[in-house]
Amino acid sequence: MAATLYRCTSPTNWLCPCGRVARELRRHGIDADEVRVPQRRRHRNEVVALSGQDRVPLVVIDGEPVCDSRRILEHLDWRAGGGR
């Protein structure tokens, strides 16, 4: 499974929603590439191109973008339950 996590520049996985998503990806056994995006939203062209919005976290799993940390966590649980 190919996955990419677009996340903020926070150096830790404990201070923000991006870190929570990173932890949950690991817990689900998904090895995701991480892309740290600029803090200024106007410089997040790749995120906008993938999802139509400029917020992180954004996860792209097998070509499917999922944004918003709560939706991402729900999506991971859904995939783990066999809802592919």
- What CATH number does the domain containing 31 carry? 3.40.30.10
Q: Domain of residue 42: give its range.
A: 3-80
Taking only the tens place, the pLDDT of each residue in 18-48 is 999 999 999 999 999 999 999 998 899 999 9
Residue 5 has what pLDDT? Answer: 98
Number of domains in the chain: 1
Does the predicted model carry a pTM greater than 0.95? no
pLDDT of 83 higher than 80: no
* CA–CA distance, 57 with 22 (Å, rounded to integer): 9
- pLDDT above 90 (res 81): no
The answer for 4, left when phi > 0, alpha when psi is -120 to 50, beta otherwise, is: beta
pLDDT, residue 84, reads 55
